[in-house]
Amino acid sequence: MTLDIEALSIRFEERLRQVAVADSPFVTEAASHLIAAGGKRFRPQLVYLASGFGGEVDEEQLLKAALVMELTHVASLYHDDVMDEADVRRSAPSANSRWGNSIAILIGDYLFAKASILVADLGADYVRLQAETFTRLVQGQIAETRGPGTGEAPLEHYLQVIADKTGSLIAASALFGAMIAGAPQSIREALAAYGEEIGLVFQLSDDIIDITSDVTGKTPGTDLREGVPTLPTLLLEASRDPADQPLKDLLAGDLSDDAALAEALAVLRAHPVVEKARAEVCRHADLARQHLAPLPEGDAKQLLLQVCDDLVKRSA
């Protein structure tokens, strides 16, 4: 059976809006806040694509799997914004800036609970996978909050954080789709490994975009101004070249002024560390492609390979 992904996506959006509805109009409004703001729906798309490596697919089960992944993702964003003290999410005021931290945390909990109700319909294996994924999400958030431990390389710490916070849920999305389709264990493992790497590519390409792009809708240098570690800045930090010290000092200074931020961005964009970061994105994309190599040929495989190409291009 060939899935009509466009039709599935339309049904998905309708169901996603419905599942956020609560007994209280206020909870419905707050829970719908980020859902209504849109998003890439990257994780549901992976659920659909990964289901192309098995047999007949129950579309209702597939939709539930996609909803579980997206709800888990959106719920984590409510919590992330509290941890990061963010003011904006998806070009809209963040829930914590609009209603306060306590409400934002509770709405995240509400959406996690909604995801749990849906995943229970899928079966014990799916419940376990969601719980294991949630465990990694929380551990990644804690590790990010605490920072690198004594003797721990900041870059290695960062890569583990994004593997846990981003890679785990993307891997689970691919695995959910394969499970719904009854794909063999070897294919499930390959798709999960692909998802882990794609999660890294996804976040690391965002790191580069924060510095290089003026056309993504995100204000360039947002992470830089807030002192958030990213791949280019961590690679720079690891450099032992004395010639890099002036740039390190510049980035460590006060970037709250627009002119200071513009200067920092200009110098950083011209630095070889950006190309080094791009090479790292390409390396992880190649690893993702290698995990797909043993999979049977077909539209699903080609679309997953295209995901690799698209993510690399967005940071080029």
At residue 94, the pLDDT reads 82
Residue 245 exposed, middle or buried by CB count within 10 Å (0-12, 13-18, 19+): exposed
The model's pLDDT over 35-62, given as tens digits with 9 standing for 90+, comes to 888 788 999 999 999 999 988 899 999 9
Q: Which residue has the higher pLDDT, 261 or 83?
A: 261
Secondary structure of residue 93 in the 3-state scheme: strand
Q: What is the pLDDT of residue 273?
A: 94
Classify 184-315 by CATH class.
mainly alpha
pTM above 0.85, yes or no: yes
Comparing CA positions, the residue from 18, 9, 10 lying closest to residue 45 is 9
Tokens of residue 298, six digits: 């077909």
Residues 315, 281 contacting (CB under 8 angstroms): yes
- Mean pLDDT in residue range 230-243: 93
Kindly report the length of the chain.
Answer: 316
Q: What is the pLDDT, as a whole number, of residue 87?
A: 75
Three-class SS state of 89: strand
Query: Which residue intervals of the chain bear CATH 1.10.600.10?
Result: 1-157, 184-315
Under 8 Å CB-to-CB from 34, ≥6 apart: which residues? 74, 77, 78, 89, 90, 92, 95
Residue 216 confidence (pLDDT): 46
Q: What's the half-sphere exposure (Cβ side, CA atoms, 13 Å) at 136?
A: 21
Residue 52: enclosing H or E segment and its boundaries? none
| Statement: residue 228 has pLDDT above 90 | no
Architecture in CATH of 1-157? Orthogonal Bundle (1.10)
pLDDT of residue 224: 87
pLDDT in tens, 150-185: 989 999 999 999 999 999 999 999 999 999 999 999
113-137 residue pLDDT tens: 999 999 999 999 999 999 999 999 9
